[in-house]
Structure 1
Amino acid sequence: MATPLSADRLVAALRAEGLKVVEYRSWRTNNRNSKGAWGPVHGVMIHHTVTEGTDASVRLCYEGHSSLPGPLCHGVIAKDGTVYLVGNGRANHAGLGDDDVLRAVINEAATLPADNEANTDGNARFYGFECVNLGDGRDPWPAAQLEAIEKASAAVCRAHGWSERSVIGHLEWQPGKVDPKGFTMSSMRTRIGDRLDGPPDAEEDPVPKTIGLYDADNRKLAPGGWTTLPVERTTLLTGATVYDVLVQLTLTAPAGGTVQGRFFHLRADGSRWTGGIVERGTSGGKSFLDFPGKGSIRAAEKLQFEVAYFPAAPDDTAAAVIDTRRARGLYWA
């Protein structure tokens, strides 16, 4: 559940994703808010226009027609990848759809149920992008247009902290609909997810920033089980970021023990993605251990680190002592 983006935030999100955006006529005040609710919003819906030609398609989506007043979406994606914004608020694009599908989108379920009912107002709940295509299965989808669909969807998802599972096609929402026709929504969601794993194109900085954190207070580490380990702070990095980080520990423990470390991404809903385990041995006295991690986090995720200690003797219950800990490396925000 989310409050709809303002016009300025929507434009900024799309441009930050590397899209060419055209603000068409008085799109900022073009809506159907007088006819029903707009928000809370839960996802993005993709359509095809069943038209050809950019100018005519954009005008139709802005104005609508005698049986369906405009706007007919929020943005029109042309074949060259340009996004024309035509509506800001409630738009006549989704119509009535399946409440089970809406619940799946809200929960970001891995699989969508069949859309076999039309009992829920989708115009209040979804952003809509109409893509210029005849929808006959023969009209081509240029690479630039498919990339723009990917970017526009990712831009809205990134702004709200959603995953690619918040993006659906009209055919997945309302019984009898076939759009978009010519590519699968499953393949498009995969593309959107891959894009969300990195920073937006327009915000990617070729010059990395540095992270340098250090703690010298002793911290006991009981045998067995994972312990989230702060280094100055619990969250090492947050926001859409690509990172290359090394955590270094000075640890006092008997020889022959094992210390495991791993990075994880904590999501806003409390779930997490866990990276691979790096294992180091203790040498007796002070051991100097390092744990590298590379990856990327999304806008709403937090990068944290956890560690586990296993002594050589199974019946040894004494805690190891972490004397110092350091996190250092590079990240691209």
Structure 2
Amino acid sequence: MATPMSADAFIRALKAEGLTVVEIGNWRNHNRNSKGPWGPVHGVTIHHTVTKGSARTVDLCRRGHSALPGPLCHGVITKDGKVHLVGYGRANHAGLGDPDVLRAVIDEKTLPADNEATVDGNRHFYGFECENLGDGDDPWPAAQLEAIERAAAAVCRHHGWDERSVIGHLEWQPGKVDPRGFTMTSMRQRISSRLDNGTPTTRPPKPSEPKPLPKPTKPVVDLSKLVAAARSDPAAKGTPVTYSGVRTVEAALVDAGLLSKSYSDGHFGTTTVTAYAAWQRSKAGGSYRGKNADGIPGRDSLTRLGNKYGFTVVV
């Protein structure tokens, strides 16, 4: 637990760790503090942007969009290894996440599986968005990976945290898959080594190409179990979670703009059925009509949803 460092202390810490920092506009005062508190802070969350092009990526993370106003993080780490500061204070990056994960971060212990989304992560985490398409194929240049390592280490070093205070978005919020293309275990190992070296270097050495990192495994959704959950009791509320794949599908519907996060609770109730029916009627979902858009997942529409939002369907 810690009080957020000042904006000036933040940029000093990043530069002291040997990073090239680019200041974007009035980043020190660009935040979402009017919508909720910023702090106490407990850790750092790493994301990927699902975008291509550094200028476009930085602008999007600074401004946000109609459904999610900016800033969408504190720093944007582009493929060339530069850290672009786009906001400071509360930022729309982490969203709701698992209280058990937060407790593990605070205690600096091994992370449990994330299966709830009830705690405000925007209040408690620094956030770095990293330029990458997030498809598992877009490469992570050595300079960018080293910048992620240095940026996270800079924050940890300031607060006296160890590498277990750094998490991926996929470890915080059910259904998320970012960052995809490297593992957070390997990144925490890099951060640990850097912190163990003591005083930060002010000039980064020329990065070498790392060994290819294994691709993370996609979440898997069982169609038959999902259908059973959807048909169990659509009118009920607060039904205990019976199948974790419901959360994965709900998170995808949230990302598609069809379901409010407040209903992403692992319960395939009336609101989720309505949201899934809207997906079935959409072009991406298959443009179904009538009884074929009843909100009960089918193989084709669920596969389309998985392909778009990062999970695998088994039948």
Into which bin does the TM-score normalised by the smaller protein fall? 0.5 to 0.7
Structure 2: how far apart are the matches of 1:42 and 1:4?
9
Structure 1: how far apart are the matches of 2:82 and 2:203?
19
Structure 2: how far apart are the matches of 1:87 and 1:170?
19
SS in 1 for 2:40: coil
Structure 1: how far apart are the matches of 2:17 and 2:86?
19
1:116-265 equivalences under 5 Å are 116-198=115-197, 199-202=199-202
What is the match of residue 49 of structure 1? 49
Structure 2: how far apart are the matches of 1:148 and 1:125?
22
> How far off is 1:36 after superposition?
0.5
Structure 2: how far apart are the matches of 1:114 and 1:11?
33
1:279-318 equivalences under 5 Å are none
Which residue identity is paired with 1:194?
S
Which residue identity is paired with 2:160?
G
Which residue identity is paired with 1:20?
T
Which residue identity is paired with 1:13?
A
> How far off is 1:203 after superposition?
8.1
> How far off is 1:201 after superposition?
1.0
Structure 2: how far apart are the matches of 1:164 and 1:151?
11
What is the match of residue 84 of structure 2? 84
1:92-107 equivalences under 5 Å are 92-107=92-107
What is the match of residue 272 of structure 1? none
What is the match of residue 108 of structure 1? 108
Structure 1: how far apart are the matches of 2:97 and 2:41?
15
Segments of 5+ residues of structure 2 without an aligned counterpart are 205-315
SS in 2 for 1:79: coil
Specify the structure having the higher radius of gyration (Cα): 1
Q: Deviations for 1:199-248, whole angstroms, at most 9, x for unmatched residues?
A: 201189xxxxxxxxxxxxxxxxxxxxxxxxxxxxxxxxxxxxxxxxxxxx
Structure 1: how far apart are the matches of 2:150 and 2:203?
13
Which residue identity is paired with 1:88?
Y
More helix by share: 2
What is the match of residue 72 of structure 1? 72
Structure 2: how far apart are the matches of 1:203 and 1:51?
29
Structure 1 residue ranges, 4+ long, deviating more than 3 angstroms after superposition: none
Q: Deviations for 1:130-160, whole angstroms, at most 9, x for unmatched residues?
A: 0000000010000000000000000000000
Structure 2: how far apart are the matches of 1:44 and 1:167?
5
Structure 2: how far apart are the matches of 1:88 and 1:2?
16
Structure 1: how far apart are the matches of 2:88 and 2:129?
14
The two structures have a TM-score, normalised by structure 2, of 0.64
SS in 2 for 1:152: helix
* Number of residue-to-residue matches in the alignment: 203
Structure 1: how far apart are the matches of 2:177 and 2:146?
21
> How far off is 1:176 after superposition?
0.1
Structure 2: how far apart are the matches of 1:65 and 1:37?
21
Structure 1: how far apart are the matches of 2:4 and 2:203?
22
Which residue identity is paired with 2:26?
S
How many percent identity over aligned positions? 75
SS in 2 for 1:127: strand
SS in 2 for 1:59: helix
> How far off is 1:4 after superposition?
0.3
> How far off is 1:164 after superposition?
0.4
> How far off is 1:34 after superposition?
0.2
What is the match of residue 20 of structure 2? 20
The two structures have a TM-score, normalised by structure 1, of 0.60
SS in 2 for 1:3: coil
Q: Deviations for 1:170-224, whole angstroms, at most 9, x for unmatched residues?
A: 00000000000000000000000000011201189xxxxxxxxxxxxxxxxxxxx
Segments of 5+ residues of structure 1 without an aligned counterpart are 205-333
What is the match of residue 286 of structure 1? none
Structure 2: how far apart are the matches of 1:90 and 1:26?
15
Structure 2: how far apart are the matches of 1:5 and 1:18?
18
Superposition RMSD in Å: 1.0
Structure 2: how far apart are the matches of 1:143 and 1:127?
23
Structure 2: how far apart are the matches of 1:136 and 1:128?
21
Q: 1:24 to 1:69 in 2, by over 3 A?
A: same
